[in-house]
A and B are shown apart, each in its own frame.
Chain A
Amino acid sequence: MTTTTEMAIERFRAAAAAEGLLDVAYASADSPFGTLLLAQTPRGLVRVGLPNQDREELLEELAAKLSPRVLEAPSQLDAARRELDRYFAGELREFDLPVDWALSHGFRQQVLQGIAAIPYGETRTYTEMAAGAGNPRAVRAAGSACGSNPTPLVVPCHRVLRLSGGLGGYAGGLAMKESLLELEAEHHS
């Protein structure tokens, strides 16, 4: 890509944003675990891709499920990137980012909204989350809702464990889940 073309693209991005055409804006963000993919709609943060997840696949999924107007627009995600940086540094306990729940529905969305309310440094069980969403017997479904969480970290599904105290699962790998819990335990006073 030549420099003039890059500058033209930069100008185009700004014009598209000004015209309200950025249905899905996305950007990369550094983290201690690797590169994250952040995507947002005009309503809020809609997707956080973890380092081990396929970037192209995530973007295609967003194009198919939300809108094909998917554009890289780093400046649009400055606020999200700043909050995540502070979270990883142990300085931020509660995200102040609006979340767009468009990618989850029904029971799953209820479970995820319950998870969003788990305080920093605390944990819950899949059973508790199922009960909180109105169906105490749907433990497996609650587990699968956690597993399909479109916005991990910001909706802290890493704070949900097995009844036995076991770690359960994590889309970003169990080592990442364990580190996040350690980070929070360390900065939780």
Chain B
Amino acid sequence: MHGLPPFQTLLDRYANDVMATLRGAVGRVDADDVFQETFLAALRAYPCLKDDRNLRGWLLTIAHRKAIDHHRARGRRPLPVAEMEAVVEARAVAPEIPTPDDGVWEKVAGLPPKQRAAVTLRFASDLPHAEIAAALGCSPAAARRSLHEGLTKLRKELS
């Protein structure tokens, strides 16, 4: 008998966090698809999970891997024009949640992958450096560096 909580608990508690993280990482339009991939992957792996001490960190780690996969797949195939237009159109529609960020997340989406992931994990998901490092598969020092570089770049662009 193991002590994992019902999977529904993870949805109830962390679905909003995962969605916010993914919006930062892949944009509002694609976040829904990557959300599906994230939770399906989590549900498949869940019964074998050994350590239930940080379920939120585990989910966000999967979310970031899926976001990176998504960017890789995107990078390999060019965006069809129709899809481009859809993206532009969707972004033009007023966001349903007020985002008091003055376009910051748009700029975040334009950062190189590692920096973007570090910035989103730190500020959208509120993860500490050690967990960002675990999610990115690098050392805490490297995670700190990516975060620093990302923030420096953002400051420059926003000033």
B58 within 8 Å of A (CB atoms): no
**Chain A's nearest CB lies how many Å from the CB of B98?**
11
A1 within 8 Å of B (CB atoms): yes
Binds B, one of A68-76, A114-122, A149-157: A68-76
A174 within 8 Å of B (CB atoms): no
B5 within 8 Å of A (CB atoms): yes
B1-53 interface (Cβ within 8 A of A): 1-8, 11, 15-16, 19, 32, 35-36, 39-40, 43-44, 46-47
What per-residue 1/0 map shows which CB atoms of A1-25 lie under 8 Å from chain B? 1111101110110011001010010
- Would B5 and A8 count as touching, CB distance under 8 A? no
- Would A1 and B43 count as touching, CB distance under 8 A? no
Among B16, B40, B46, B47, the residue within 8 A (CB) of A5 is B16
C-alpha gap A184/B3 in the complex (Å) = 41
Could you tell me the dominant secondary structure of chain A's interface residues? helix
**Chain B's nearest CB lies how many Å from the CB of A32?**
27
Residue of B nearest to A24 (CB): B6
- Given contacts A2-B96, A3-B96, A63-B6, whether A68 and B36 have CB atoms under 8 Å apart is no
B81 within 8 Å of A (CB atoms): no
Residue of B nearest to A26 (CB): B8
**Chain B's nearest CB lies how many Å from the CB of A29?**
17
Tell me which residues across on chain B come within 8 A of A11, comparing CB atoms: 32, 36
A97 within 8 Å of B (CB atoms): no
- Would B1 and A4 count as touching, CB distance under 8 A? no
Among A1, A24, A63, the residue within 8 A (CB) of B16 is A1
- Would A69 and B40 count as touching, CB distance under 8 A? no
Could you tell me the dominant secondary structure of chain B's interface residues? helix
- Given contacts A59-B8, A60-B6, whether A4 and B19 have CB atoms under 8 Å apart is yes
C-alpha gap A8/B36 in the complex (Å) = 7
Residue of A nearest to B19 (CB): A5
Give 10 new A-B contacts, CB below 8 A, not counting A16-B43, A63-B5, A64-B1. A4-B96, A9-B11, A15-B40, A21-B43, A59-B8, A67-B47, A68-B4, A68-B7, A70-B7, A71-B11
A-B contact pairs, 24 of them (CB 8 A): A1-B15, A2-B16, A2-B19, A2-B96, A4-B32, A5-B15, A8-B15, A8-B32, A8-B35, A11-B32, A11-B36, A12-B11, A12-B36, A16-B39, A60-B6, A63-B5, A63-B6, A64-B2, A68-B4, A68-B5, A69-B47, A70-B6, A70-B7, A71-B11
B contacts, CB < 8 Å to A: 1-8, 11, 15-16, 19, 32, 35-36, 39-40, 43-44, 46-47, 96-97
